[in-house]
Structure formats: C-alpha cells, structure tokens
Amino acid sequence: MADSRQQQSPRPVRLAEYTPPAHLVDTVQLRFELGEEWTTVSSRLTVRANPERIEAGPLVLDGRELELLEVAVDGRPLGEGEYALDAESLTIPEVPERFTLEVTTRIRPQENTALEGLYKSSGTFCTQCEPEGFRRITYFPDRSDVMARYTTTIVADAQRYPVLLSNGNRIGAGTLTDGRHWVQWEDPFPKPSYLFALVGGDLARVADSYTTMSGRQVALHIYVEHGNEDKVDHAMRSLKEAMAWDEATYGRECDLDVYQIVAVEDFNMGAMENKGLNIFNTSAILAKPETATDADFQRIEAIIGHEYFHNWSGNRVTLRDWFQLSLKEGFTVFREQHFSADRYSAPVQRIEDVRRLRTAQFPEDDGPTAHPVRPDSYIEISNFYTPTVYEKGAEVVRMMYHLLGPEDFRRGTDLFFASHDGRAVTTEDFVRALEEASDRDLSQFRLWYTQAGTPRLFVDAEHDPGAATYTLHVRQEVPETPGQAHKQPMHIPVAVGLLDRAGNALPLRMEGEEPGGTTRVLELREAEQSFTFTGVGEDPVPSLLRGFSAPVRLEHDHRDQDLAFLLAHDEDLFTRWEAGQELACRSLFRGVAAYQAGDEMRLDETLVEAFGGLLRGDAGDKALVAEALTQPDEGYLADLMDWPVDPEAIHQARRFTRARLAQALGDDFLYSYQANQEGGEYRPDPGAIARRRLKNLSLAYLVAGGVGEGIEAAREQVHTATNMTDRLGALRPMVAEDVPGTAESLEAFYTQWKDEPEVMDKWFAIQATSPHYGTLAGIRRLLEHPAFNFKNPNKVRAVLGAFARGNPYRFHAPDGEAYTFFADQVLRLDRINPQMAAALARAFSRFRRYDEARQRLMREQLERIRQDPQLSRDTFEIVTKSLG
C-alpha cells in the first residue's frame, strides 16, 4: 500500500535543509476508540503560527496509511476543496494565526505488522512512535521540535481491555452502557509526538514505589501478561537502582508521580523511553533464574537503566531533529555503561563495550553504510538506529568525560540540563555546555561528530639509552568513507603507560614537566606527532590505548613476547585483556594462513603458556580471566582479515585452536570447571556471575576439545542445572560440536520450555549459530518449526539474524545458496516489517570484502532485492547504499 516505495527513488532528507516548524502545537487532546476491526482516533489541537518564522504559510501535517474521516478548523468542518491529501501528508492552505484543529482518522492496528504506530501484540494494543510512528495514528506535525501537552482518553471493551494506559497521570475513568469503559490521562510535561504512548489490554500489574532524594514518592508499575508476575522482580530492583544512581551521579531526580513499564512480545527494538510509560520488549524485562541467563539479567538491568536515564537525556531535553539522534542515544548509552560499570566490574564492562563496538560499529564504519555520529542525510531515519549513533556516540561522550575529568564533566551536564530543559536541541548545544563548564577547547574534537570512519593510529617507539629518553611517534589516518573523501586530523586522547622489565609501571615524566602518575593521556591533534618521556633508563614495554581511550584501530610492532608480558603484568586491566586478544588473533591468523596453504595448522606455545598462566594464576577477577580466555569471534576476525575474507579458513583455524587449547590445557580446564562449582541459591551478583562464566567457559573448551570428562559433564549439567545460565552453558557447546546425545537434549529442552517464548529464542539461536544445526537445511527446518513466527521480531532475530551474524561459515557457504535463501526471506519480511527486513539486508552490505565469486553471488541477491517493485523505503536505502 502507501507503505511501499512509489515509482521514483525516495529523496534524502538533509540536515542542511533544516527549517524550524511553520506551526507550533500547544495542546493535544486525543480520544481513542479501540475496536476489533478498526480504531477511531479523534484529535483536537491548539495550533499557532511559529513566531520564529516570518510567514507560516499552509499547515502541513504528516500522516501515513490513515483513513481521514473528518477535518475541522475552529469547529468548521472542511470541504473537499479546502485541503489536499497525499500518501504522506495533509495540507490545509488557508489557516488563521491561531486556531483549533480537529481531525478524525480510522486505523487498523490489528493488521499493523510493521510494529510502528498503534498495533496489537498478543491481544494487547500498544504503540511505537519513535521515530515517525505517530503519523500512522493521526495527522500531526510529527517532528521532535514540536512539543505539546497531551491529554488522552481511551475507550475500549471493559472485559478484553481492563487496563488502559497513556503518558502522565490518570485523571478520570468511567464506564459506558455498551460494555465499554474509558480512562483519561494527562501528561503535565510538553513532549514531542515520538514520546507518546498508549496501551490497552488485559495485563497483570506489579507495583512498588521509590522515594526520591527530595522525598517525593514515585509509584512504580510494571505490567506483564498474566502468569509472568514472577519474572519482574529483577526489572523492578534494577529500576530503583537506576533511579538512585542517576541522583547520585548526575543529580537527576525523577519528575513523575507514576513510572509505568509495559512488556510486549512483539517489538522491533529492545525498549522505548516514552514519557512516563516505557514500552519494553519482553526479552528486556522478564527474568527468573530458571529462564534467564546471567547475560539476560545484566542486559535487563542495562536497558531498564537506559530507558530511565532517557527521562532526562532525551525527554526533558529532547532533539531538534533526527540528525541529532546521538545527542540522546550516545549520551544515554554512555550513562548506561557507566551505571553497569558501577554495578558490576568496571574493567569487564569496558571490555564488553569495546567488544561490541568492534564487532558491530567498526565494520559499519568501514563499509558502504558508514555515516558520522551526527549523520547529514538519510532516506529512512529508522535505518539510523545504528552502532555508530549509539556505541560510537557513547565513545565520543566518554572521551569528553575523560578530557574534562569527572568534576568538570558533571558541571557541564548540569549546565546542559539547566539551560535546555523543556527544549529541543542539538549535539552542538551539548558540546558547548561542556566547553562552557570547563576551560577546554573542543573545536577540533567536534570532528568526531561530523567525520565518519574509524581512525587508524600507527605507533613507533624509540629508546635512547644515552639520553634516557623514550619517544612515541604517532601517526593518524582517517579513512575515506562514502561522501567524505578528505579528512582532517582528529583530536584523539591516547592513554599510555610504560612498564619496566620487571613488569612495574614507571612514573611518567615528559620534557619540561614534573613527574606524574603512571598513566598519561597524550592528546594527538596532528597527522603526525611525537611524545618524549624522560628518565627512562632501560627500554620499556609500552602499554598503549589504556582503557581504550579512543575508538580507533591501533597498529604497533609489539612482539608476541611483549604481548604475553603485558597480559601478565600490565596494571591497566583493559590493556591486559587487549594483549591477550591480540596474541590469540595472531595465532589464529597463522592458522588461517596454514589452512589456506594446505599446511598443517599448529598451536602456538606462547598462547598455550599465556592461557595456562591465566587459568592457573590466582588472578582475583575471575570475570576478567574468563574474558581473556574467550576467543575473538569469527565476525571480528573477518573484520581484521586482509581482502579477501575467508570465512571457511577462519572457522577452521578457530575451531582447531579451541580444540587444541582444550587438549593442551585439559587438566587446567577440568580443574577450573570443578573449582568454580557452587551450590546454593542462584544469585546474579558479580562474584557468582564470574564463577559461572569461568566454569561454563571451561566446560565449552572441554567439549570443543572432545575431552571425555567434559562431554560427560555437559550431558549431566544440561539436565541437572537449576538455572538457565548453567543449562545453556552446557547445551550451547554440545550443539556447537554436535556431541552424541545433543539431538535428545535439544528435544528435551524444547519439551520443557516450549511455553516460554524468551527461552525458545535461545533454543533457536544456539541452533542457528551451530555449524552442524545451522546449515541451510537446518535453518529451513527452524523456520518451519511451529514455535517460529515471522511476525515476531525476536524470532526473526533468533534464527535469521543469528544465522547471518553468528554463523558466517554457513552463511557464506561457497555455493551461494544461503545467499539466495536469505534474500528470499528479506523480501518476504519486507512486506511484513520493513524495519526488520532492512536490518537483515545489512548482512550483504560488506560483500566487497569477499572473494570475487562470493561478491558476484551476493551482488546478484542485492540486485534482485532492489528490483522488487514494492520494496520499502527502509530496505531500498540499505540495498542501494550497499551496491554503492
């Protein structure tokens, strides 16, 4: 329908063409009559010409897939000739300076599979308005710089939809004589339409409350489907933790009387921060030890925090336009990561953040859809909820946090919130507030917002024993990206330390300075720059980019022994991990080369010793040991590999190394598996999580190595486990290796958990990512499985998303059949849910990284998708950009 792309190519929206809105809306009164066949939406807006504009001109409202029933200005219904309608807007040429506008539309939520606007998820009405869903509900200036006060009345069948929610406070309710009831909500805070929300359904409510730092009571209500009440404790606890953390860390207090969260099964993303009424994917809320893993518990806490933090960074201070998306997302991800670091282990959190950045954002920054943190054009804004806007955006905020230091940064955010409260602003306003609160000049730093591409740093070191100086020569290169051929040198903070030969950190002193601490942040601003330390008598080992102080690709000439040395001694825990990963990568690439040459692969002794040392050492932080022993994944290795990527060689080298490491260190892994067992009640606290992590990692190695005792232990654990972390910790490696008994265990798991959709997602994903079960035939079987559902994004992600991302060996099978199959699924999904289809289509975007045969096969599929006459704008953008 109107959803599909019209004949000609869609025109990009450009930041340079931004103009303030012609009309402003002060108040919005909405009335929803929720029905089984259709829903009627009546709105009453008070509108006025924007005084900032010399001439307001016609009133133009956004609207998509709406049936217009009536439109009236100041109470007078407009006739046919008095307005114009097209697929995306309603225009009224003649309007007064100030007026009330009434619009009535009819929509069909039960047929809405795109999950944008008002839709139904397992019988519950719910909304998703960010970024442009509100225009699928009613005609409205659907842009974030139009902020209004909303009053919402919802009318629905009392039996089927006893719970009727919207933003703000409940100010009235009643029953009608026809079996329907109504509830009225008023939101005291002006907000953009993307933060509007509505829910109608038969849901259970779990209630609690929080007393804020100034002593106000906030009611906390979490709504879930009946039967899930026992899975919200953790989310509720996390919410209270997040509220306390934002008070302590940013001085931000909750401004609401009631904070509501609703969990729905069908949701395109993780969760949504609608003012006072967050809507969450069930996967980001529901947890109990039997059904959720440690990673789920941690993810839930992070997402609850993230959405809560948006109440200030996003809602109280919002976006002028969608190019500013990272203003709320980058900052809020940074806040969320900091919250998680404080709750668990800061170095482990940092490692996980960096791993995610590298596996998702670095490839994006290096491919055809690369864009700056603040993009300057888009075809479909839904395609810009990217790792660049989120994760790189968070890195950019983090760099400023470290450049300013915690005190000045806090003064800067205080100033930002105080001066822009209730307004729609830009990333520039944020940077300026930080500058004003500190005496830092961030002019060159701003390039991080406007230049795409991951900078490369090349470091050479020079020791002069005579002069006792040590010099680091640093060169930077920002690669070319689409639309940006020439780059300027960036302002890059590089944190470094130096270790003497005994592994001690040296106090650092630069020419003409007093001696300082043992970490020094070098501020690189030129294309090439040298930094000299004095008083360095013996040749040290440099520890570079401590804490991953900037999102860059670093190249240096460390020898393997230096890496092993850093892994064993560096005081910076991130750099220790980094050295271990690099050691592992080098060894894997030697395996890749051997495999390609048809030679025998060999296991590196340095790696065996380093890993053995980690396992045997009594390193305090077990979580850190587990991180260090985790192999880099196939996708990350593919990203590091020189052209052409060889997914098969990567898979075989990684498999070989894992198995041989397990055999070489069998006793250590067995010991670690046994030593980290614990009885007692499950608790998702940092110590227990770390022990389970190390235990299950050891188990996975043992299974991979074909160690009999390990396989036995896994078979045992998969059915005796009392929590999902341990159950999956055994089942996953079994499925990965297909050891005898796996099929039976998978079947038993299914029988036990088939009624738990969140658990079924895991069951699907471990098969989709297994080289044995995730073959093309296997994936076809999973799609036909009765528990699979094409309309549920979690299921699509669990099978198709997991296959493309987590199983490159099978996805890139040389015959190209998986490509054809996958493109079929993209096209099929594009009719149902364009946002999800576009996300899947990204699997082909870096086809140029592969050999010519695979390139040709992938290009054929991209062309085939592009030619679909009904292709959505979402998928069209990804596919055309990929083809370049």
Would the CA dihedral through 191, 196, 202, 206 be positive or negative? Answer: negative
Rule CB under 6 A: which of 295-324 touch ligand PHE? 306-307
Are the CB atoms for 151 and 30 separated by under 8 Å? yes
CA angle 575, 578, 581 (to 5 degrees): 155
* 675-679 CB contacts, 8 Å cutoff, 24+ apart: 676/622
Instruction: Examine residue 277 and tell whether it contacts ligand PHE (CB under 6 A).
Output: no
The Cα–Cα gap between 462 and 539 comes to: 9
3-class SS of residue 409 = helix
Nearer to Zn ion (CB atom), residue 131 or residue 580: 131
Nearer to ligand PHE among residue 337 and residue 345 (C-beta): 337
- Taking CB under 6 A as the binding criterion, the range among 181-189, 266-274, 855-863, 873-881 that sits at the site for ligand PHE is 266-274
Regarding 329 and contact with ligand PHE (CB under 6 A), the answer is: yes
Identify whether the C-beta of residue 47 lies closer than 8 Å to the C-beta of residue 101. yes
Is 307 annotated in the active site? yes
Phi-psi region of 377 (alpha: psi -120 to 50; beta: other; left: phi over 0): beta
Under the binding rule (CB under 6 A), the answer on residue 272 touching ligand PHE is: yes
- Radius of gyration in angstroms for the set of CA atoms belonging to the chain, rounded to a whole number: 28
Judged by CB under 6 A, which stretch of 101-109, 271-279, 629-637, 820-828 contacts ligand PHE? 271-279
Q: Which helix (H) or strand (E) holds 258?
A: strand 258-264
Give the pair of three-digit tokens for residue 281.
Answer: 């994917």
Size of site (CB under 5 A) for Zn ion = 2
Part of the chain binding ligand PHE (CB under 6 A), chosen from 78-86, 267-275, 339-347, 540-548: 267-275
Residue 269 touches which member of Zn ion, ligand PHE, none, C-beta under 5-8 Å by kind? ligand PHE
Omega of the bond leading into 644 within 30 degrees of 0 (cis)? yes
Task: Closer to ligand PHE by CB, 193 or 657: give it.
Answer: 193
Residue of 65, 55, 53, 47 lying closest to 18 (CA atoms): 53
Question: Closest approach of Cβ 272 to Zn ion, in Å?
Answer: 8
Choose, from 130, 273, 307, 756, the residue flagged as catalytic: 307
Kindly state whether residue 821 participates in binding ligand PHE, applying the rule CB under 6 A.
Answer: no
458 counts as binding ligand PHE under rule CB under 6 A? no
- Binds ligand PHE (CB under 6 A): choice among 38, 210, 385, 458: 385
To ligand PHE, the closest distance from the beta carbon of 793 in angstroms equals: 11
Shortest separation between residue 329's beta carbon and ligand PHE, angstroms: 6
Contact characters 327-366, Zn ion, x per CB under 5 A: --x--x----------------------------------
Q: With beta carbons less than 8 A apart as the criterion, state whether 265 and 224 touch.
A: no
What mask of x and - would describe binding to ligand PHE in positions 763 to 792, judged by CB under 6 A?
Answer: ------------------------------
Q: Six-digit token pair at 800?
A: 């198709």
Report d(CA 568, CA 131) in Å as an integer. 47
Token output for 360: 């998702």
Interface pick for ligand PHE out of 105, 128, 298, 875 (rule CB under 6 A): 128
CA angle in degrees (0–180, nearest 5) for 755-759-764: 105
Q: How far is the CB of 4 from ligand PHE (least distance, A)?
A: 21
Residue 273 binds ligand PHE, judged by CB under 6 A: yes
Between 47 and 357, CB nearer to Zn ion: 357
Angle between helix 647-664 and 605-616 (nearest 10): 50
CA torsion, ordered 799, 371, 113, 296, to nearest 10 deg: 50
| Shortest spacing between CB 881 and ligand PHE, in angstroms | 20
Residue 128 beta carbon to ligand PHE: minimum distance, rounded to whole angstroms: 5
* Chosen residue from 41, 271, 319, 607 binding ligand PHE by CB under 6 A: 271
- Residue 810 tokens, joined: 């099978």
- Give least dist CB 14 to Zn ion, A: 24
Query: Taking CB under 6 A as the criterion, which residues in 63-92 touch ligand PHE?
Result: none
Q: Is 269 a binder of ligand PHE (CB under 6 A)?
A: yes
The CA distance from 772 to 730, in Å, is 16
Report what 311 binds from Zn ion, ligand PHE, none; CB cut-off 5-8 Å by kind: none
**Does residue 391 belong to the site contacting ligand PHE (CB under 6 A)?**
no
Minimum distance of Zn ion from residue 322's CB (angstroms): 13
Say which entry of Zn ion, ligand PHE, none residue 543 contacts (CB below 5 to 8 A, set by partner kind).
none
For residue 128, the partner it binds in Zn ion, ligand PHE, none, with Cβ less than 5 to 8 A by kind, is: ligand PHE
Nearer to ligand PHE, 128 or 337 (CB): 128
Where do runs of H (alpha helix) occur along 317-443? 325-343, 346-356, 362-365, 387, 393-404, 406-420, 427-437
- b or e along 520-553 (b: 16 or more beta carbons within 10 Å of the residue's beta carbon)? bbbebeeeebebbbeebeeebbbbbbbbbbbbbb
Binding site for Zn ion (CB under 5 A): 329, 332
Residues taking part in catalysis: 307
Binding site for ligand PHE (CB under 6 A): 128, 130, 268-269, 271-273, 306-307, 329, 385
